[in-house]
Structure 1
């Protein structure tokens, strides 16, 4: 189909856009990222997305069609001509995804009528329309820090309640868009790998996964059922190289910084940070096995084929057995800021800084007088886990610290957690 049809998103952190990237590639749908090289401040609201879209629209002819989708929680399940056909069938100038729960600080919920499907509220994460209509619809100013959901909902109510030349509608029956938020029990995947809303018996083409942690996990699982998932984490080979950085402490390659950001995004999307029951040194943790068992298995293979070789070379004549545990740990001033001095239930332990945009928070080895402060993001620090290398996680005073911690088995019967 010969159309001036543009699909755009805002993904300032491309490592979190894996499902959108993989699904759009599968169906050869080109997606323009308006958020490339655009900084996103912590706590910033979605007004920036609207303003980036406005700038893009200003350079288009009126008859162009623009589909906007959120970067981090959208899945495309059809080629562009089918998406365009569904939009034309709606016979409106702008069509918005609909959702079941109101998700904005300003309560406008009473202005939206009940619907058969229960999806009655505007979902600002997916919408499509004519460029001219979108320019007029988005003509009111807003700051980058303003809430995009409130802004879009107020504009929708103005244009839908009469006196406007723009025809707008919510896709309440999932003709094109399907929101997972609070509706996951209505959504299944058919044998033909189509998304099916069983309540309205519709097969939408674009899935949006906004909502709470459970909604996001359901979105990820639905994507996996369609053969679409976030790109797998890729470990960096050591080529047998390592540096001695402290007394019986070595440093080696493990993850590229982009892979570190990807792992953080996976962990935050999953959520459920908690300490292990009965742990003498509790922390806010997420087991890698819980997050993604396939990733844990891949890590086991990587250790066996690569890291064990340098460990056994440096600490000759010891012999490695297998991994005991791997978990992501999170520190921040408002959750848990530090961890007291301890040794590990591990033959050889490892820690990987997944980010460095925080203050404080280094791991300090008391006897060795060694700090991980200057260890690069993605490098793995390795040390003997028991007795000699007591260490603490010093206080994080600003920002959020993420680390990957790895423990190895001490005996053949030293089972994984």
Structure 2
């Protein structure tokens, strides 16, 4: 046996590049490939039975994202922790840049044009916020978390990006960012009565906030309550979506046979309403299989949180898991008429570069937590 072989057999599986690759949860990678494959099939259909203009780009982006995800997974989670607030500052700067010089589309200023990619910083900010909050709380003792003054900086860290996102305007992403921040606060041990106070205050100002919404945002809420009030205007999207969902039945109409999608009754079939198109062509069974794959992704995040021996990893895993869950919950709830339409894509399935990029970055961070779940962090602060 060579010296190299002896060293390979005796070294800690968690150290070194080969050891880290051994630790990668390849079954989770396979699940992600399954979700992306569902997206490819749906986008192939949305393109009229052709790889272009959606499915081919989706596959290329996912391939690039896989390399990026595995590269991030190899980075020591303690290095990522040290860079958490620097990343947050970059994300905040990008949101400010969007407000000043962002690309305008569909009445909103949300994107930065990077040549072949239009980056939506609000999507990236959700992940960077999780890292920053996890770094703030990971060495805080139970008593310190109960101190109101200790909670002021992380609360401001949540409200600053939320305010900039709402200004774009992007109500859906702003509310999701707020909920992700709340999830990390809760996981860190913030007392329940503080959440009760905030929720009570939010409920009290909701009528005033409604009056200050943009006209299209109020229309979405009104249509959610009564879709038939404007069947050819604001209510058109959700009505067509429900027709497509119902017409799919148990087994669906068959691949490339969806009438609502292929006759262009279904709006934004390649992005916001991609789940509807899947359900029309593959029925309830296809929808449940898709949801099952997405559920496995969320469950992996919870498993990572439970197996991590350091608080930073637990908080990062919970925050990223909640982020992904809200993606799925809002998109599926939106197309089924359970919540107001909010323009949130279905990750790894909908067409879009920003959603794919940020999803794969998040999965890379999640895998880094898993690979480095046993590393030692500094002791808790008093």
The TM-score by the shorter chain falls in which range?
under 0.3
What's the TM-score once normalised by structure 1's chain length?
A: 0.21
Larger Cα Rg: Structure 1 or Structure 2? Answer: 1
Q: Which has the higher contact order (CA 8 A, sep 6+)?
A: 2
Write 1 or 2 for the structure with the bigger share of helix: 2
| TM-score normalised by structure 2 residue count | 0.22
